[in-house]
Amino acid sequence: MTSCFVTGTGDGVGKTHVCALLLRHWRKEERAVAAMKPILTGFDPADVQGSDAGRLLLAMHAPSDVQGLNLISPWRFRAALAPQLAAAREGTIIAYDKVVETCRSVIGMMPADGRLIIEAVGGACEPLDDRHTVMDWARDLAIPALLVAGSGRDGLSQALASLAAMAQYDVRPRAIVLNESLSNPVPLEEQREILAQHCSVGPILVSRRDATESDQAALAAAVDAAIV
């Protein structure tokens, strides 16, 4: 079984887009696939299918119902804020140890040839409670990590800052995926070339919004090779 922890350089860089792409490809390979987005903020119960959890369920060809949501996103909050703040708005806190325990339980249930994606929330340094961030979560799960970065104007700065933060927690991503931003994108190849000059993490992969099925298959195969 191969599990992968997917984090990003910030909110809205395309983590769910990349995760869904990988899930669809692995399903085509007839692998057992599963995904979790344990902590979900900005959740609108009236638009389940439009949520990140709904998109992951669709990619897995699973029902977007309450049972499905409870399985992949047990901690859901309405406010589109950092998890610690979103939980506080609802008068609660995120039980960090329970989050880690839940993820480990799902990891342990996957078949030997399966693929599990655990998608984090927000950016790499997103605060989960008063003591833990996403990087604590990644370190404590100790499974291969993937960093998704956007290709917007600040994409390089955000990517390098995220990599520096990850290094402080001894979390080294197996690959970086540069996902084409919807607005003001910097050419992906230019961004990849410059990023490679400033970091030793590899491979640095690209995900285009107009990617062909062949492009998506190549990206998924490269990610697979990096995390196995």
Q: Which of 15, 28, 37, 98 is catalytic?
A: 37
Is 37 marked active-site? yes
Residue 25 near residue 67 (C-beta atoms within 8 A):
no
Please state, in angstroms and rounded to a whole number, the distance separating the CA atoms of residues 197 and 142: 27
Please state, in angstroms and rounded to a whole number, the distance separating the CA atoms of residues 148 and 14: 7
Write the DSSP string, the chain. -EEEEEEESSTTSSHHHHHHHHHHHHHHTT--EEEE--EE-S--GGGTTTSHHHHHHHHTT---SHHHHHHH--EE-SS-S-HHHHHHHTT----HHHHHHHHHHHHHHS-TT-EEEEEEEEETT-B-SSS-BHHHHHHHHTS-EEEEEE-STTHHHHHHHHHHHHHHTT---SEEEEEPPSSSPPPHHHHHHHHHHH-----EEEE-TT--HHHHHHHHHHHHHHH-
Cα 23 from chain centroid? 12
Catalytic residues: 37
